[in-house]
Amino acid sequence: MERLAKSFTTLLIPLLTAYEKEHISERQPLPEKYLGLSDEEMEARIAAAKAKLGRRLVILGHHYQRDEVIKFADYTGDSFKLARLVSKHPDADFIVFCGVHFMAESADVLSADHQQVILPDLAAGCSMSDMADPDQLEQCWNDLQQMGIGGVVPVTYINSAAAIKSFVGEHGGVVCTSSNAAATLKWAWERGERILFLPDQHLGRNTAYKLGVPLDQMVVWDPNEIWGDLEPDAVKPARMILWKGHCSVHTRFTVRQIEAIRAQHPGVRVIVHPEVTWEVVQAADDAGSTEYIIKTVKDSPAGSVWAVATEIHLVNRLAREVQPERTVHSLDQFGCLCSTMFRVSPNHLLWVLEGLVDGEVHNRIVVPDDRKHWTKVALDRMLSIQ
């Protein structure tokens, strides 16, 4: 399995961003005895470990996980759905989160005191989350005050570190996901004149535009420049101050790809994730979160043909689930892989589960107490928004 994973990754390297090329090899090393195992042996041992742990264990799996990992999850979903599920198992001692670091942090904040959250591979991060640094956010907040920009409510996408969520919570803001982004923006505008939205500019822009905010009332804040590379007169009329960040997977999708798929498959409907660029959303037929995409495709009439713009593991899984009544293509013919999600392997999952059986906790994710309170405030606000 590890050899297959490495071969697949090697084939994809020419298609990866510079960030991903730099970090894709940073998979957490495993003990030698967990390498070179057959799929059959891993499946049997994971099943045995799960059976021994019983109700003490809950495995959460994000939609972007590879099939050989997601099949062991007790629940599959996007960040919003999985965050809600944490509280539904108060009797579980261990929450194994097959996702990335910021998701496990959120699970730790929302879990009970006796529960321990585990990430199978500590190297599973998120390039978008890394684009928002706590010191940069602090500087941005101070710069806005110096500019005389008031009435700002900070909103952070769940794809951000606990330190970012903590700052947002302490300053009257909230966390959002792609599932509840529209409701969250409405909540924030009821409390302030402007929204500072981070770290994904595209989700913020696409959601605000859908709610009727014109593009000329949005500005992009560059955290690497003085005053965000903006003049106060440019910021004052803005309703959305968008952090200069993005998803390295979803920004690969283009209008030209949409034009090509329409030419190749007349009558195809194109549905995209709102982390794509504004131009791509405008060229598509529909846009929404991963949960929305799944529901829309599954509920479509028999015979429907879809082109889906999101992570390739979700697209391929969805395509299999709706066959033969519906046809699903990836908008990108090469497939867009989230290389950081790909780091969580069944080998890593087996390692952490057998460790729990032996009384050893590997890779526990703990949010420091000084960040936990305000992070929970921001997350609880998110969960309360309908």
How deeply is 7 buried, as exposed, middle or buried, from its count of CB atoms within 10 A (0-12, 13-18, 19+)?
exposed
Q: Are 126 and 102 in contact (CB under 8 A)?
A: yes
Whose structure tokens read 């951000």? 160
Per-residue pLDDT tens over the stretch 333-377 = 777 777 777 788 999 999 999 999 999 999 999 999 889 999 999
pLDDT at position 272 over 60: yes
Instruction: Sketch out the chain's domains with CATH numbers.
Output: 2-126+340-369 (3.40.50.10800), 129-247 (3.40.50.10800), 251-330 (3.40.50.10800)
How far apart (Å, rounded) are the C-alpha atoms in residues 205 and 297?
A: 24
Q: 61 - beta bridge partners?
A: 76, 98
| Predicted local confidence at residue 26, as pLDDT | 62
pLDDT at position 36 over 60: yes
How far apart (Å, rounded) are the C-alpha atoms in residues 217 and 221?
A: 13
How deeply is 91 buried, as exposed, middle or buried, from its count of CB atoms within 10 A (0-12, 13-18, 19+)?
exposed
pLDDT at position 18 over 80: no
Give the model's confidence band at 285: pLDDT under 50 very low, under 70 low, under 90 confident, else very high.
very high
Strand intervals (E) in 144-285: 152-157, 174-176, 194-198, 218-221, 240-243, 269-272
Give the model's confidence band at 5: pLDDT under 50 very low, under 70 low, under 90 confident, else very high.
very low
Residue 361: phi, psi to the nearest 5?
-105, 115
| Predicted local confidence at residue 337, as pLDDT | 78
The DSSP annotation for 339-350 comes to TTGGG--HHHHH
How far apart (Å, rounded) are the C-alpha atoms in residues 360 and 236?
A: 54
pLDDT over 70, % of the chain: 93
Q: Is the dihedral of CA 256, 259, 265, 269 positive or negative?
A: positive
Per-residue pLDDT tens over the stretch 215-243 = 999 999 999 999 999 999 999 999 999 99
| Predicted local confidence at residue 316, as pLDDT | 92
How far apart (Å, rounded) are the C-alpha atoms in residues 104 and 121?
A: 11
Per-residue pLDDT tens over the stretch 116-141 = 999 999 988 888 889 999 999 999 99
Per-residue pLDDT tens over the stretch 66-87 = 889 999 999 998 877 887 788 8
Give the model's confidence band at 27: pLDDT under 50 very low, under 70 low, under 90 confident, else very high.
low
How far apart (Å, rounded) are the C-alpha atoms in residues 220 and 235?
A: 9
In SS3 terms, 44-91 reads as: HHHHHHHHHHHHHEEEEEECCCCHHHHCCCCEEECHHHHHHHHHHCCC
| Predicted local confidence at residue 1, as pLDDT | 36
| Predicted local confidence at residue 85, as pLDDT | 86
pLDDT at position 254 over 90: yes
Average pLDDT of the chain to the nearest whole number:
90
| Predicted local confidence at residue 24, as pLDDT | 40
Q: Which of 5-14, 152-161, 179-188 shows the lowest per-residue confidence on average (mean pLDDT)?
A: 5-14
Q: Are 279 and 256 in contact (CB under 8 A)?
A: no
| Predicted local confidence at residue 17, as pLDDT | 38
How far apart (Å, rounded) are the C-alpha atoms in residues 195 and 218?
A: 10
Give Cα separations from 147 to 19, 141, 233, 243 (angstroms).
Answer: 33, 10, 9, 17
Give the model's confidence band at 151: pLDDT under 50 very low, under 70 low, under 90 confident, else very high.
very high
